[in-house]
Structure 1
Amino acid sequence: MKQRLAGIVVSLAVVGTVAVGCAPSAVAPDPPLADQFGHVHGLAGGPASGQWFVATHNGLYLVDEDGETTGPIGDHAFDVMGFTPSGQTLFASGHPGPDTPSEWGSPNLGIIRSDDRGESWEPVALSGIEDFHVLTAGPDNVLYGIGSSSPVLLTGTDGGTTWTEGINLPAADLAVGHDGRLYAATEAGLQVSANAGATFTVVDGAPLLYLLEALPEGGLVGVDTAGTLWRMSPEARWEKVVTAEGMVQALGADQDGTILIVDDRGIVRIDGTQTSVVRPIR
C-alpha cells in the first residue's frame, strides 16, 4: 500500500537466485520471489480467508497460505506503488506497464479502481498526473493518500473521484484505526489525527516506525527502522512482536488479524510471536 520516506529508509531491491535440480513433477515451480514480483509495495487481505493480495512492481498477485501464487491478476502487469482495499473495492496507483491501456494514464496512473478483485480496472482521478506512494482507506471508506509530487495529505470521500488538499504531511505511511483515527509514520515520530487529518499530535512513547497497519480488533502494528515489528494495543500500550530478517519491504494485516511482512526471507506470516514463511524468496 505504501512507500518509504527517503529520510527514514533506503529503497530496497531483493535479489533472488534460481534453484537448479530435478523436479519430480511436470508442473513448473513458481519463479523466485524477486524475479516474479520485482519488489513488493503492499500487502492486504484477499477475497477469501487464507489469501492475500500482494501489490508489486509487476502487478497485483494473490498468494495463499500454502504459498501458491496467482497473477498478475487480469494480466495487468503495472507497477502498483499504492494499493488499498476499501470494502469490496480495490484502489491502486503507480505507473503503467508495457501493456497497460493508455486511458489509465501515463507516466502516472493517478487513482484507478477495481470492483472485480483486480480483474479489470478503470481510471478514477488524476490520471497521468499523480503517483500515490502512500494510500489507505478507513472503515468509513474515506481514502487518504500522499503523492510523489508533494507531501500534501489528500482526502477522498466519494470513491476517489475528487480529492481535497490538506496539510503538509511528509509521512512514510498512513493507517486508519477501527475508531477512525488517522495515524502517520513520520520522521518526527508516530502522529495521530482525530479530525480526519486536519491536525495531528505526536503519539508519546511510540517507536520510530516507517510502516503501519491497523488491526481489525483495534490497535496498530508497525515496523521500526531496526526491523522490529511492534504492536500497539487499543489502550495504546506497545509491545515488541518479532524482529524481521533484513529490511521489511511491506506490511499488511487481514480481517482475521493475520499479520504479514515481506523481508529477506520472502512473504512471512506472523501469528503471535511465531513466524512462518508463506512464500520463500527463492
Structure 2
Amino acid sequence: MRKSSCATATTALAAAVLVGCSWGNTDGGAAAQPADAPSSSESPDDVAEGGADSSESVKSTEPLSSQETPSTPNGTDWTGDLPNTLTFESALAHVHGAVLRDRSLLVATHDGLTSVDVVTGVTESVGDSRDDLMAFAQDPTGALFASGHAGPGSPFSEPMGLIRSDDAGRAWSEISLGGEADFHSLAADGTAIAGWATTGALLWSEDEGDSWLPGPVTTAFSVALFMEQLWLAIPDVGLAMWNRDANAIEPVGEEGVLLATADDGSAMWRVDPDGFVHRTLDGRKWQQAGSVGAAEAIAASRNSAFIVTATGVQRLQVGG
C-alpha cells in the first residue's frame, strides 16, 4: 500500500509549482490551444466548421462500420457491427462511470465493478469487491483508477481515496488519500491524474496519485485529460480548460455535464445539459452525434460514444 500524501499548499503555491510540471503547457503565458485545423487525415465532412453554432448533426442509426479501429489498452480493435441500444436483464445499481475494455464496457456501480458485453448486453460482476465506486478512469496503459465508499468487508478506508487495479478490476490497491478524499470524477493519462473530490477540491497529481496539489475550482461535474490539457465541466460555467501556469479556468464557450476521452486518446466527447452528445478531434470544432434521454456515464472510442444508464446502453457514432 502506498503512503497517502495530500499537499496543503495554497492556491498561489500550487500555481508556482505547476509551472514546472512536464505534462502539458510549461512555457508560460496562456494555456496551449488545440490546433486551428483538423489533421490532413480528416475529410472536410469529419469536422463541422465554425464551432458549436454550426455543429453538423450526424445520424446514428447505422451499425458500426468495420472501418472503426481505435485500439483498446490491450490492443484489441473495435471492429465489426455492434447494436445501437442494449437493455440489461437486471438494472445496475447507481452507475457512476464507465470505460471501454476487451470489447466490453467496465461500469462502476454502487455494488462494485460490472462488465457489460457490448454485443449481447450480458452483465457480470468483476472481482470480489462490492465497494461503491463513485469515480472511475482508465489510463492509456490499461491501469484502472477509482474512488468512493468502502463496501462490506472492504480492506479500504472510508472514504477510499484513490485506488488502482492493474488486472482489469479483479483486484485493487490503495494509492493515496485513504480516509481523506471521496472523488466523484477522475481522469488519468500517463503519470497525470486529476480528480474532483466532494470535500470541494479539484486535485492534480503528476506522479500517478502519490502526491497532490489543489486546483482553482471547488466544484466540477466531470473532468477529462485530452491533448495534454485538463478539461472541466463546471456548474454555471460550462466546458473550460485549466491554465495551470496562471492557475486559472478558461471557459471555451461550450456546455457540458459529462466528459470522456476516447480509449486511444484521439477524441473527446461531451454530453450537454440538454442531452446532446458531441465529439471533437482538436478541442475547437465539434460534431453533434445525436441526443440521449438520460446519461449517467459515458465511455468512448474515436468514432463511438457509449451512454450508460442503470437499465442499458445507447451508442452514438460519427465518422472520421
So what's the TM-score if we normalise by structure 1?
0.74
SS of the residue 2:216 aligns to: strand
- CA 147–121 in structure 1, closer or farther in 2 if over 3 Å, else same: same
Considering only aligned residues, what root-mean-square deviation do their CA atoms show, in Å?
A: 2.3
List per-residue Cα deviations over 1:84-138 (Å, max 9, x = no partner).
112231111000111212xx102x1111111111111111111122110111112
SS of the residue 1:200 aligns to: strand
Structure showing greater radius of gyration is 2
Counterpart amino acid of residue 149 in structure 1: T
When the two structures are aligned, how many residues end up with a matched partner? Answer: 229
Superposed displacement of residue 229, structure 1: 0.9
Match of 2:118 among 49, 53, 65: 65
Distance 2:98 2:204 in 1: 21
Q: Identify the range of structure 1 (179-188 vs 158-167) with the bigger mean alpha-carbon deviation.
A: 158-167
Distance 2:154 2:246 in 1: 33
- CA 197–183 in structure 1, closer or farther in 2 if over 3 Å, else same: farther
Structure 2 contact 268–280 (Cα < 8 Å) conserved: yes
Paired-residue identity, %: 31
Distance 1:264 1:114 in 2: 23
List per-residue Cα deviations over 1:18-77 (Å, max 9, x = no partner).
xxxxxxxxxxxx97442xx2121111111x2x2121111111111122212221x11211
Counterpart amino acid of residue 132 in structure 1: F
Distance 1:57 1:165 in 2: 27
Q: Which has the higher contact order (CA 8 A, sep 6+)?
A: 2
Unaligned 5+ segments in structure 1 are: 1-29, 274-282
Matched, 1:268 2:314: yes
Matched, 1:251 2:302: no
User: 1:39 matched to which residue of 2?
Assistant: 94
Give runs of ≥4 in structure 1 deviating > 4 Å.
none
User: 1:5 matched to which residue of 2?
Assistant: none
User: 1:167 matched to which residue of 2?
Assistant: 216
User: 1:176 matched to which residue of 2?
Assistant: 225
List per-residue Cα deviations over 1:159-182 (Å, max 9, x = no partner).
2121112222421111111x2111
Distance 1:168 1:68 in 2: 39
Matched, 1:144 2:194: yes
Alignment map for 1:1-282 (pairs within 5 Å): 32-34=89-91, 37-46=92-101, 48=102, 50-66=103-119, 67-71=121-125, 73-86=126-139, 87-101=141-155, 104-106=156-158, 108-138=159-189, 140-150=190-200, 152-177=201-226, 179-187=227-235, 188-195=237-244, 198-204=247-253, 206=254, 208-215=255-262, 216=264, 218-234=266-282, 236-245=284-293, 247-254=294-301, 257-263=303-309, 266-272=312-318
